[in-house]
């Protein structure tokens, strides 16, 4: 955690170096490097000291100057000592809670922006507005002197620019894998060798599906990969057979019972247990000490591990879940929906989604989903949807009342649907 603070600081220093350089003259490596540095520090991504130290040295070298005690050759102890001086508590004592809080809020917004921009860049999509704002905001955080009004304005601008990121990623997914269509997904498993894919990266999933085709290995999604089943270019692979397990926070309880290889493409990784750590592989920026890491989308090691594992010997179906209700699918039925609204059959739309916390006793969203009136439609996305699964919400106006719009990064779909319905 302390080293992640150092990495963020190094990213700020790098942004400062290029803040006054015209965008057309900045190195092509700048935006991806800033994105990766911030994404690494998101919850449950990278726990590997060696990996993070390597990134710190890479970013500091690119910044071209020692960064307040952070030099390329600085030993780990020096880096950790610097980190302790830069924590939130000392800043609150110096700057006050409002300034410190707005600095942190902006940083968290930038981390989310970086994660989604990273995903889009995997599909060769980038937005110069997003790249420029990341440099601007990190450099202003690095300067450290700002008023509440200035920081509030930066936070609001971060929200605006994040819509660009969401639109970029939405278009990239749709253009690359086809527009999501309503699709039933097997919740359970079938006999055969197996690989479980978790995280968010559709590019990795597509590459794995191509490399496993015809090898007698079934592919299962996990966590936030569940919406993958709605994309035409992914669901055409017949060995993408179903979904295993629940939300990310259940992985330590569930993964020991998966009899195959496990691939973590992005967050959310928790400390692996001995039961499955030998069958676990990480990709992209995800890392855990001692866990095999896959480079360049060569999944041969994952395939070998799956073939060596016993696989499933029985069939289990705990249910079926419909995915694929992105904005294209929902607005494709706009006339029907608007007609139902005008006729009084649909009274309200509720969005219940986002990233969920780990506390198992949380039941508010479950209770809300099961008790709101039957003339409400529920839009859900992200791993928050797992608080709603397993209940039959029925239909309204001939449509399912629960519409799964995708991953957390698909909240753009909910925005588009809300705006379109408001216009109507």
Q: Cα–Cα distances in Å, from 65 out to 70, 87, 138, 286?
A: 9, 22, 17, 28
Please tell me the pTM assigned to this model: 0.94
Local structure of 56: helix, strand or coil: helix
Question: Mean pLDDT, to the nearest integer, of 117-131?
Answer: 97
Question: Mean pLDDT, to the nearest integer, of 273-278?
Answer: 96
Q: Is the pLDDT of residue 84 over 70?
A: yes
Q: Which residue has the higher pLDDT, 190 or 359?
A: 190
In this prediction, residue 75 carries a pLDDT of 82
Q: Do the Cβ atoms of 198 and 263 come closer than 8 Å?
A: yes
Cα gap 141→104, rounded to integer Å = 9
Question: Mean pLDDT, to the nearest integer, of 105-121?
Answer: 97
Question: Mean pLDDT, to the nearest integer, of 87-111?
Answer: 94
Q: Do the Cβ atoms of 29 and 269 come closer than 8 Å?
A: no
In DSSP notation, 336-379 reads HHHHHHHTTS--EEEE--S---S-TT--HHHHHHHHS-TTEEEE
Count CA atoms within 13 Å of residue 55 on its CB side.
29
| 145 — pLDDT class (breaks 50, 70, 90) | confident
Q: Which pLDDT tens digit goes with each residue over 153-198? A: 999 999 999 999 999 999 999 999 999 999 999 999 999 999 999 9
Q: Is the pLDDT of residue 72 over 80?
A: no
Q: What mean pLDDT, rounded, does the chain reach?
A: 93
Q: Note the Cα 185 to chain centre separation in Å.
A: 21
Local structure of 93: helix, strand or coil: helix
Cβ neighbours around 270 below 10 Å, total: 17
Q: Do the Cβ atoms of 239 and 218 come closer than 8 Å?
A: yes
Q: Which pLDDT tens digit goes with each residue over 16-70? A: 999 999 999 999 999 999 999 999 999 999 999 999 999 999 999 999 866 555 6
Cα gap 61→63, rounded to integer Å = 5
């Amino acid at each position: 955690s302390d080293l992640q603070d150092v990495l963020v600081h190094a990213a700020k220093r790098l942004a400062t170096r290029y803040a006054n350089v015209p965008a057309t003259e900045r190195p092509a490596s700048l935006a991806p490097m800033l994105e990766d540095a911030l994404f690494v520090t998101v919850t449950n991504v990278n726990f590997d000291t060696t990996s993070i130290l390597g990134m710190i040295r890479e970013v500091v070298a690119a910044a071209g100057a020692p960064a307040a005690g952070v030099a390329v050759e600085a030993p780990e102890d020096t880096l950790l000592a610097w980190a302790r001086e830069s924590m939130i508590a000392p800043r609150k004592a110096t700057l006050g809670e409002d300034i410190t809080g707005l600095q942190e809020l902006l940083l968290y917004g930038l981390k989310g922006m970086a994660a989604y921009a990273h995903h889009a860049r995997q599909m060769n999509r980038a937005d110069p507005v997003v790249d420029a704002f990341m440099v601007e905001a990190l450099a202003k955080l690095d300067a450290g002197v700002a008023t509440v009004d200035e920081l509030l304005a930066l936070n609001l601008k971060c929200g605006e620019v994040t819509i660009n990121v969401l639109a970029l990623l939405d278009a990239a997914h749709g253009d690359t894998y086809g527009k999501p269509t309503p699709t039933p997904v097997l919740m359970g498993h079938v006999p055969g060798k197996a690989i479980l894919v978790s995280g968010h990266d559709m590019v990795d999933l597509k590459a794995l599906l191509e490399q496993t085709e015809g090898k007698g290995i079934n592919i299962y999604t996990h966590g936030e990969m569940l919406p993958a089943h709605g994309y035409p270019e992914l669901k055409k692979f017949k060995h993408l057979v179903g979904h295993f397990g629940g939300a990310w926070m259940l992985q330590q309880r569930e993964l020991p019972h998966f009899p195959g290889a496990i691939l973590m493409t992005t967050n959310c990784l928790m400390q692996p247990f001995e039961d499955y750590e030998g069958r676990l592989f990480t990709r992209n920026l995800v890392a855990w000490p001692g866990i095999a890491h896959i480079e360049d989308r060569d999944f041969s090691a994952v395939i070998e591990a799956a073939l060596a594992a016993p696989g499933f010997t029985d069939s289990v179906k705990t249910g079926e879940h419909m995915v694929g209700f992105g904005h294209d699918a929902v607005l494709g039925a706009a006339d029907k929906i608007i007609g139902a609204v005008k006729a009084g059959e649909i009274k309200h739309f509720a969005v219940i989604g986002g990233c969920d916390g780990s506390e198992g006793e949380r039941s508010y969203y479950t209770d809300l989903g099961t008790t709101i009136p039957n003339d409400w439609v529920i839009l859900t996305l992200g791993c928050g949807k797992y608080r709603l699964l397993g209940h039959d919400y029925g239909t309204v106006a001939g449509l399912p009342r629960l519409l799964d719009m995708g991953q957390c990064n698909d909240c753009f779909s909910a925005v588009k649907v809300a705006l379109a319905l408001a216009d109507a």
